[in-house]
Amino acid sequence: MSSLKGKVAMITGAGSGIGQATAKLMAERGASVLCTDLNPETAEATAAMIREAGGIAESLVCDIGSEDSIKAAIAHAETRYGGLDILHNNAALQDPKVLAKDADIAAMEIDIWDRTMAVNVRGTMLGCKHAIPAMLRRGGGVIVNTSSTYGLAAYISLPAYSASKAAINSITQHVAAAYGKRGIRCNAVAPALVLTPLTASFIPKPLIDINVDGACTPFLGGPLEVAQAVAFLASDDARFITGHILPVDGGTLCTQPTVPASRSFFAQAAS
């Protein structure tokens, strides 16, 4: 198990889903965790869960769409805990109404495109921009960004979301290249569909089944499977891993696109 003992970690979007699971796991592994989110109640709920379990955590409102907000959160980590070792740039615009409108590039509403880029790309960049100087003052650090399999291979909808995640991959590699010699590592996790309370609430069951069929594993991962990858990348066990975009996808991207249909074909032929 990768220890994070003595580390100071800040997580964006820690009030729900993957961010919440990462905050809890990092605290279990010994980190002091600053749980930030746009939503003060959910951020505090995550921090309270950690404290009740005996960990060290506090909540702070941070809107990754606002440079002042990110700057203040990182400054708070430094003042309160003496520095920042880990940033999990996790938050993204996940509003189902926005995602529903991000369907067809030929009918793209500019506001949808701009909001997606402003939160996902600009927010991730701002996290890096302000975490890097803090980490340099500490003698090094680790940034783990949250990409998506949609940033690595195309889907039939979500063009803005996918482009934003591809940009996050590029930011990840840039930070690794530019700051690696000064002790900062930067990686990204690229989850496939992960069942969180939010995704489970709006993704129809047949579409979830299609995603299970597209994976090599018999199940879809949950927030914990992603959190485990993030905690590993953030730990010293991953000290020689940087600039990497790690699919956390049950093998979805490693197969020929024909695999699910071929599986059905051979099953039918055998019956």
Ligand X SMILES: NC(=O)c1ccc[n+]([C@@H]2O[C@H](COP(=O)([O-])OP(=O)(O)OC[C@H]3O[C@@H](n4cnc5c(N)ncnc54)[C@H](O)[C@@H]3O)[C@@H](O)[C@H]2O)c1
211 binds ligand X per the rule CB under 6 A: no
Stretch that binds ligand X, among 99-107, 133-141, 177-185, 196-204 (CB under 6 A): 196-204
102 binds ligand X per the rule CB under 6 A: no
Query: Which of 117/136 has CB closer to ligand X?
Result: 117
For 147, the token pair is: 């990409």
15 binds ligand X per the rule CB under 6 A: yes
Pairwise CA distance, residues 103 & 199, whole Å: 16
234 binds ligand X per the rule CB under 6 A: no
Pairwise CA distance, residues 109 & 95, whole Å: 15
42 binds ligand X per the rule CB under 6 A: yes
Closest residue by beta carbon to ligand X: 17
Q: How big is the site for ligand X, counted in residues (CB under 6 A)?
A: 29
Pairwise CA distance, residues 17 & 86, whole Å: 19
Query: Which of 95/109 has CB closer to ligand X?
Result: 95
18 binds ligand X per the rule CB under 6 A: yes
Pairwise CA distance, residues 103 & 123, whole Å: 22
Query: Which of 136/198 has CB closer to ligand X?
Result: 198
Name which position in 9, 17, 134, 172 contacts ligand X (CB under 6 A): 17
Name which position in 7, 10, 12, 112 contacts ligand X (CB under 6 A): 12
Active site residue 155: no
Q: Which of residues 112-171 bind ligand X (CB under 6 A)?
A: 119, 146, 148
19 binds ligand X per the rule CB under 6 A: yes
Q: Are 226 and 18 in contact (CB under 8 A)?
A: yes
CB atoms under 10 Å from CB of 258, counted, come to 9
46 binds ligand X per the rule CB under 6 A: no
Stretch that binds ligand X, among 1-9, 16-24, 96-104, 256-264 (CB under 6 A): 16-24
Q: Which of residues 20-39 bind ligand X (CB under 6 A)?
A: 37-39
User: Which residues belong to the active site?
Assistant: 161
Residue numbers at the binding site for ligand X (CB under 6 A): 12-13, 15-19, 37-39, 42, 62-65, 90-94, 119, 146, 148, 191, 193-194, 196, 198-199
